[in-house]
Amino acid sequence: MKGYNIAVVGVGAVGEELLRVLSQTSLPINDIKVLARASREVEVEGRTYSVRETKPEEFDGVDIALFAGTERASELFAKEAVKRGAIVIDNSATFRLERDVPLVVPEVNPEDLDWHKGLIANPNCSTIQMVVALKPLYDRSRIRRIFAATYQAVSGTGRDAIAELRQQSLLQLVHSEEVKMTYAYPYRIAFNLIPQIGSFNDLGYTSEEMKMVQETHKILHDPEIKITATCVRVPVFNCHSEAVYIETEEKITAEEAREILRRAPGIKVIDEPSPLSGRSYPMPIDADGRDEVFVGRIREDPFVERGLHLWIVADNLRKGAALNAVQIAEEMHRRGLLGK
């Protein structure tokens, strides 16, 4: 079986996670090349990688180029990599809404890979985990409306944000010092919530919130779904959580929803709503380092006949970014779409 030559572009939090996931994949790999703005060495899981400066010629002979998410790198080099024969799977927002670029979550819309033109977009982290949980329910009954509130970990911003939360927490909790300086965020994140992820538009929605709307429409091929979202940055190191409410065309009971989701690929249901069961819902500490999308708190709306609530948790660096990108490559391999 042919082994693929793979390039990982970027070695931030997502880039490092890509290297971890690639070390665990069943995808046949011949060589992994790591590219970034400057040459250096990085160590991931005990293995040292020699990082090379990203240049167009570095993509010669590359079969799969996994861009970790820096929009500048994607703008400069993604289409150049395609010209040189690579299949590009891009984690940035640069190409997600372009009509001729598939936006793919393998458990949800793998068939969209069949019409790729060398470039595939990886959706936003908060969108990925939501659509993984909603697609099996959508297949049972079309979803007419979605209300989502996200509680997003600082790892979604990158390593500097992780360091900032750690430093601020130490200053506040251990040393009782007031935090005055912030770098990753406009306000202190330790022991605080920031109801803004991205920039605001004229309607008062942030770019992160609009990503959830537009990307969900594209992935589910249903622009008529009414979607609204409020995205909040929370002082959690890793793993995003979401409170999602849906209204369906036909009634889906909570028990039916649990059974549908238990059978769905990529989902783990933690939900036994009994006063005697103890904790029966997923939390970020359950999802950290895991591949699955966790779903719990599944319950019917007592005031709306076809309303359903869900609590959705996933590792945003893995399923929300690196793992989904590698799963796209694996699905393309299964479909015989690589090397064409």
Residues recognised as catalytic:
125, 240
Q: At what angle do helices 207-220 and 125-140 cross, to 10 degrees?
A: 40
Q: Torsion angle, CA of 267/271/272/277, rounded to 10 degrees? A: 120
Task: Report the 10 Å Cβ neighbour count for 144.
Answer: 14
CA distances from 329 to 6, 17, 54, 120 (A): 10, 15, 21, 10
Task: Give CA–CA dist 96/199, Å, rounded.
Answer: 18
Kindly report the three-state secondary structure assignment for every residue of 223-250.
Answer: CCCEEEEEEEECCCCCCEEEEEEEEECC
Residues constituting the chain: 340
Task: Give CA–CA dist 335/340, Å, rounded.
Answer: 11
Task: Give CA–CA dist 208/321, Å, rounded.
Answer: 15
Q: Which of 293, 268, 291, 310 is nearest to 143 (CA)?
A: 310
Where are the extended beta strands (E) located within the chain?
Answer: 4-9, 29-36, 40-44, 47-53, 64-67, 87-90, 119-121, 143-152, 226-233, 240-248, 267-269, 293-300, 307-314
Q: What is the CA radius of gyration of the chain?
A: 20
Structure tokens at 271: 């939900």
